[in-house]
Amino acid sequence: MVNKFLKDNYKKTFTIVEEIINQWDPLDLLAIDCPCDEYEFEIRQVAAAALRIDNAEELVREITEILYKAFDEDFKKSKDCLEIANKITNRLIS
């Protein structure tokens, strides 16, 4: 029962994070026809962080760190991370 709840909660969180990150397209990779799962690894990390963290301010730091680790200097949209963290947090609590 607990495992099903955890799996369902993770799936819901992953789906929300996936939708928001892909719409944002932080490196504009989807805009140039890269595969739709281009950010899947980072989305999984952000989803896991969103399950641990209960506020947007901390989630901003996690998102920024995850994307900088993944894309280094190519990641230029760090100023958008607060908006993205707010969107994720708001969707998860609604």
pLDDT band at 94 (very low <50, low <70, confident <90, very high): confident
Q: Give pLDDT, residue 66.
A: 97
Comparing 94 with 56, the larger pLDDT belongs to 56
Q: What is the pLDDT of residues 56-88, one digit of tens each?
A: 999 999 999 999 999 998 888 889 999 999 999
Tell me the domains of the chain and their CATH numbers. 2-93 (1.10.340)
Output the pTM of the full model. 0.92
Q: DSSP secondary-structure letter at 30?
A: G
What the block records as the tokens of 13 is: 């969180």
CA–CA distance, 83 with 63 (Å, rounded to integer): 11
CA–CA distance, 10 with 46 (Å, rounded to integer): 11
